[in-house]
Structure 1
Amino acid sequence: MLSTFALDTQVIQPELCTGCGACQSLCPYWGSHEGRTLCFFDCERTDGRCQQFCPRMPSDLDALRKKFFSEDTLTQEIGPFRGLYLTRAADPGIRRHAQHGGTMTALLELALKEGLIDSAVLTKSEGGLNTRSVLAVTPEDIRSCSGSSFQIAPTLAVLNEALKADKYHKIGVVGTPCKTLAVYKMMAKPLPDNDNNADHIGLVLGLFCGWGLDWNGIHDLTAKYADADKVSHMDIPPSKYHSLVLREENKEISVNLDEVTPLVRPACHGCTDMTAEFCDLSVGGARSADGWDIDKGWNQVIVRSKKGEQLLTLAREKGILEFKEVPETGLDKIKNASLGKKRSGLKYLRSLTGNADDLGYLNPSAKLFENL
């Protein structure tokens, strides 16, 4: 039997809460402040949507994958897979303000223009700090959300508000792996008589993610090296650079990663998904033999569903995206990196439970992690 108490003891207290916002805007009991999820009142309900949607409450991920994806596309390393591509926005205006190649912004604008979505739930990064979640309904709204942040905003609270309002019926969602998993838990309708209009979710786009950072910690660290109000961009290059890069006006500032990693949210240590396996397509920064100076202007895209495949094909046909050849070792590198994330996540969860056979919230999905 589940209740708010279960969320508190199984998710909040062991610091597994990701701050995704899936439990919020459903009732007055849950909220957030500066990346922290807050429970304002105790609740005795055993059938609440908050615990059913939470990505850190026990889930049968194998059943969820088979419900939404073709079984012949499922892989252990990176989940559903229909293809890997290297892309960037054809519009230099999009690329100029993008985190990398602007692929996500270009795809969202195309989906809105073509009527595949009528709105999109996004995170507005403000240069990487003081993030907030928004419902974008115009191309201008979408472009204003270009860039990334390592702070975690409760994006899905805005999704819940939009679904409840019943104004938009093809809502797009962009999120990190924990957020997209929560969206698929919503779409699975665990409470069919109280599904919050889950059928109005039209497209789910995922972001590659290693981890998120403590909200105040990254703000303080940024202020140590730059004027936080003038930072327009922050990024973490490939591991060999061992740095966080801040862009302040026309200069770049490199911060040693040793100062950054202590700020990683505890919940992220228990995550086993690097590539957002529950979505229509996933987007991350490119990795190739061309080197970081070139790669930072491109994205790698994993297509997972027919809907994602159709959108990417349309973007190619209309010249919305530019494509280049994927390196021969590109897929293997992603798979190996993803497996590394899974193993580190499992190790952390086993340390929390104190039992090598107890994977915590992943227990219903243990067979997906056999031999890892």
Structure 2
Amino acid sequence: MLSTFALDTQVIKPGLCTGCGACQGMCPYWDSYEGRTICFFDCERTEGRCQAFCPRMPADLDALKNKFFPAETLTPEIGPFRGLYLTRATDAAIRGNAQHGGTMTALVELALKEGFIDSAVLTQSKGGLDAKGVLATTAEEIRACSGSTFQIPPTLAVLNQALKENKYHKIGVVGTPCKTLAVYKMKSKPLPENDNNADNIGMVFGLFCGWGLEWNDIHNLTAKYADPEKVSHMDIPPSKYHSLVLREDGKDISVDLDEVNPIVRQACHACTDMTAEFSDLSVGGARSADGWDVDKGWNQVIVRTEKGEQLLNLAREKGILEFKDVPETGLQKIKNASLGKKRNGEAYMHELNSK
């Protein structure tokens, strides 16, 4: 196995670090500051969990999928697939604080209540800024993490700490594709003699993701158009709107995407996963023929595992989620968008490796 120094040469220096935190919380060598991963000391270990868990270190992703998902569920475009649904939380209070339909918050809360998980590693932010990882153990703490951020905090450092403490034994994790991949690397136990209690990971909830933004740059861009302390929400509408939307004091402010694209994290250009393929289920903003005014209040959900299917069925049975029909073209649109991201990521890596 490669030396842990490979993280610096193969991930940090080429700008491929996602800032997920998978390398942190296990030893004092790694930390994070304002979205940047920092190594305090050189390490001469020939193997280590930090590089084994890193989502940007080389891995046989097909073998990893085959280890955790039945072969008959695997698709080349979006990974494991058992069904696509359009949903939203029936609880208006959840929807009111969510980026879209509040499906993720409702599902994680239900998973905790019904014993699928006994805690949840989540990301909390102030209207999308100053994001941080938290370990939630109550419904109130889960709801406090509603809404989205385009900053990438080292959330998985919180997971590593929780696993090390061995207090919770069915930990749920909510994360973007890079984070969920790292979690499945943990679950694969690449270092069996030092697996960091990986069996204590209970469920993995994925978030659709196009890209994240540089930590300070998104704060500065927000401050250009609004008071960051008053921003309660930020979102990226469908591509035809070509904008980032900030909500300040209940009013939406549109920022041209031309100002946003230059501050996309470099690492995100290398990503080939739009829908968080390594997860029990994945949630994103809805896309349908009803238009954005309707879609922004709904989510689309990809179910990937039997456990994910059980949770979604329970949400339907208990009236936690409202469902509506998926458009005939819905699945193909997701597949096409996902393939586009795969091709772009592969092209970026090919260009980077050819330099």
Global fold match (TM > 0.5): yes
Matches of 1:10 and 1:119, distance apart in 2: 33
Task: Give the Cα separation in 1 of the matches to 2:337 and 2:300.
Answer: 14
Structure 2 partner of 1:82: 82
SS at match of 2:28: coil
1:285 is matched with which residue? 285
CA apart distance, 1:38: 0.3
Q: 1:354 — aligned with what?
A: 354
Count of aligned positions = 355
Distance 2:332 2:288 in 1: 12
* Aligned position for 1:238: 238
Report deviation, 1:250: 1.8
Contact 1:88/1:102, CA 8 A, preserved across alignment: yes
Q: Match for 1:255: what amino acid? A: V
Who is 1:365 aligned against? Answer: none
Contact 1:133 1:155 in 2 (8 A): yes
Partner of 2:202: 202
Rounded Cα–Cα distance in structure 2 between residues aligned with 1:275 and 1:115: 26
Name the structure 2 match of 1:369. Answer: none
Structure 2 distance, partners of 1:39, 1:183, is 21
Instruction: Give the C-alpha shift of residue 126 in structure 1.
Output: 1.1
Aligned equivalents of 2:75, 2:273: Cα separation in 1 = 13
Q: Give the corresponding residue for 1:251.
A: 251
Q: Distance in 1 between matches of 2:197 and 2:23?
A: 15
Q: Is residue 228 from structure 1 mapped to residue 228 from structure 2 by the alignment? A: yes
Q: What amino acid does structure 2 have at the position aligned with 1:277?
A: E
Alpha-carbon distance in 1 for matches of 2:142, 2:99: 14
Counterpart Cα distance in 2 of 1:185 and 1:310:
24
Q: Does the alignment pair 1:158 with 2:140? A: no
Task: Return the TM-score normalized by structure 2.
Answer: 0.99
Match in the other structure for 2:327: 327
Letter in structure 1 aligned against 2:191 = L
| Native 8 Å contact 1:174 1:206 kept in 2 | yes
After superposition, residues 58-207 of structure 1 pair within 5 angstroms as: 58-207=58-207
Is 1:271 the equivalent of 2:271? yes
Q: Is 1:218 equivalent to 2:218 in the alignment?
A: yes
* Per-residue deviation, 1:4: 2.6
Tell me, what secondary structure is at the counterpart of 2:184?
helix
Partner of 1:363: none
Per-residue deviation, 1:125? 1.7
1:57 corresponds to: 57
Q: Secondary structure at the match of 1:4?
A: coil
CA distance, structure 2, for counterparts of residue 59 and residue 102 of structure 1: 33
Root-mean-square deviation (CA, aligned residues, Å) is: 0.7
Task: Verify the 8 A CA contact 2:4 2:47 in the aligned structure 1.
Answer: no
For 2:307 and 2:46, locate their aligned partners in 1 and report how far apart those are by CA, in whole Å. 35
Q: Is the 8 A contact 1:2 1:45 kept in 2?
A: no
Q: Which residue of 2 aligns with 1:362?
A: none
Q: Mind listing any 5+ residue stretches in structure 1 that lack a counterpart?
A: 356-372
Q: Who is 1:23 aligned against?
A: 23
SS in 1 for 2:5: helix
Task: Name the aligned partner's letter for residue 329 of structure 2.
Answer: T
Q: Is structure 2 residue 308 aligned with structure 1 residue 308?
A: yes
The amino acid that maps onto 2:36 is R
Q: Sequence identity, in percent? A: 79
The residue aligned with 2:47 is: 47
Shift of 1:188: 0.2
Are the aligned partners of 2:151 and 2:213 in contact in 1 as well (CA < 8 Å)?
yes
**1:153-195 deviation digits (Å, cap 9, x = unpaired):** 1010000000000100000000000000000000000011100
Q: TM-score, normalised by structure 1?
A: 0.95
For residues 216 and 2 of structure 1, the distance between their equivalents in structure 2, rounded to whole angstroms, comes to 33
Q: Secondary structure at the match of 1:347?
A: helix
